[in-house]
């Protein structure tokens, strides 16, 4: 019996095995569904008229199926209209998606300083089912959250609620605790406990300490998971190292629907090769992002598991054929 050279052509069975794997997985592999959050730091009409800044912001938004923008100063709607026009005008370069928006009213205790929450979303993958402006008397938030119920066409979990957060730095602990009340109201309203809080919590450094966590129900209630840890720096400045921006989800079903280790800071300056000063022109915060599992990827995994006995047999046959 002679040994075949390891440099020779692969056996037919090995080629069949590789082809089979490609058929099962290759056609079903798609990118995850990305949810993003970005404190754009006073995005007003002057900023929205700056071509360079809008192009940078558009590149951030293009990565996301849903992108929450906080701190938008837009009393007459021109800022969002201008931003959407820029994003959709060049969408052919980034996947031919068309973005739409849903916005809160101007929020804030000062009549001359109102800021909006704005969700930008791909109409091809997402539908807005409903929205709800959380309000109490007296107000418990400087900017009451606008809760939005979304339905996704491509993810394992179809219906979920996103709640934007932008707390008052001086009352961050109290406002973060009151998010539990928001959860109770919106989950009962829509009969859906798949709730995600995202945005600028001010949940770090001088605004929230370890001792403060004992007073916050989103920490003491173990049904809530904080996906961005305390040691993550979400700020642009090299002089700070604070996890101000966070993503928090409720329940095991939401947690299982999230791609592991996908919640992170998006350093677009590094990816787009921008200087710190240019990044800082946009905001003193970095965007956050997290991915939901695609239903197509789950189907691929199921097919692969069902095919495991056949793959094992083919692998063994190819291995024996190669050496004998």
- Looking at the DSSP bridge assignments, the partners of residue 226 are 248
Structure token digits, residue 149: 């119920």
Q: What is the structure's pLDDT at 112?
A: 81
Q: What is the structure's pLDDT at 213?
A: 95
Q: What is the structure's pLDDT at 32?
A: 82
Mean pLDDT by 10 residues, the chain (324 residues): 43 44 40 92 96 95 97 97 93 87 94 93 97 96 97 96 97 98 98 98 95 96 97 95 98 96 97 96 97 72 44 48 46
Q: What is the structure's pLDDT at 138?
A: 93
Fold of 33-300: Deoxyribonuclease I; Chain A (3.60.10)
- Domain boundaries, given as residue ranges, for the chain: 33-300
Instruction: Find out whether 213 and 219 touch, Cβ atoms under 8 Å.
Output: yes
The 10 Å Cβ neighbour count of residue 241 is 13
CA neighbours closer than 13 Å in the CB half-sphere of residue 319: 6
- Note every long-range contact of 29-33, with CB atoms under 8 Å and residues 24 or more positions apart, other chains counting: 29/296, 29/297, 29/300, 30/154, 30/294, 30/296, 30/297, 31/294, 32/259, 32/262, 32/291, 32/292, 32/293, 32/294, 32/297, 33/65, 33/125, 33/152, 33/154, 33/155, 33/291, 33/292, 33/293, 33/294
């Amino acid at each position: 019996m002679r040994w075949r050279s390891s440099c020779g052509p692969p056996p037919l069975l090995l080629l069949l095995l590789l082809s089979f794997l490609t058929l099962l997985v290759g056609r079903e592999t798609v990118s995850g569904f990305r949810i993003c959050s970005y404190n754009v730091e006073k995005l007003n009409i002057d900023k929205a008229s700056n071509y360079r800044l809008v192009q940078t912001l558009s590149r951030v938004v293009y990565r996301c199926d849903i992108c929450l923008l906080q701190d938008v100063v837009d009393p007459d709607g021109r800022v969002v209209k201008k931003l959407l026009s820029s994003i959709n005008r060049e969408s052919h370069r980034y996947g031919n998606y068309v973005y739409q928006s849903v916005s809160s009213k101007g929020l804030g205790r000062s009549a001359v300083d109102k800021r909006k929450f704005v969700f930008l979303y791909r109409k091809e993958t997402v539908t807005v089912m409903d929205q709800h402006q959380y309000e109490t008397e007296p107000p418990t938030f400087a900017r009451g959250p606008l809760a939005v119920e979304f339905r996704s066409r491509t993810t394992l979990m179809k219906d979920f609620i996103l709640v934007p957060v932008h707390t008052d730095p001086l009352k961050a602990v109290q406002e973060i605790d009151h998010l539990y009340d928001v959860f109770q109201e919106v989950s009962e309203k829509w009969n859906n406990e798949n709730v995600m809080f995202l945005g600028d919590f001010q949940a770090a450094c001088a605004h929230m300490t370890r001792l403060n966590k004992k007073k916050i129900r989103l920490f003491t209630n173990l049904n809530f998971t904080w996906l961005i840890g305390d040691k993550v720096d979400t700020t642009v400045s090299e002089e700070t190292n604070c996890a101000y921006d966070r993503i928090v989800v409720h329940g095991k079903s939401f947690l299982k629907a999230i791609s592991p280790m996908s919640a992170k800071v998006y350093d677009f300056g590094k990816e787009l090769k921008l200087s710190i000063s240019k990044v800082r022109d946009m905001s003193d915060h970095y965007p956050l992002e997290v991915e939901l599992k695609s239903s197509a990827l789950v189907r691929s995994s199921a097919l692969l598991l069902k095919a495991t006995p056949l793959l094992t047999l083919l692998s063994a046959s190819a291995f024996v054929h190669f050496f004998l």
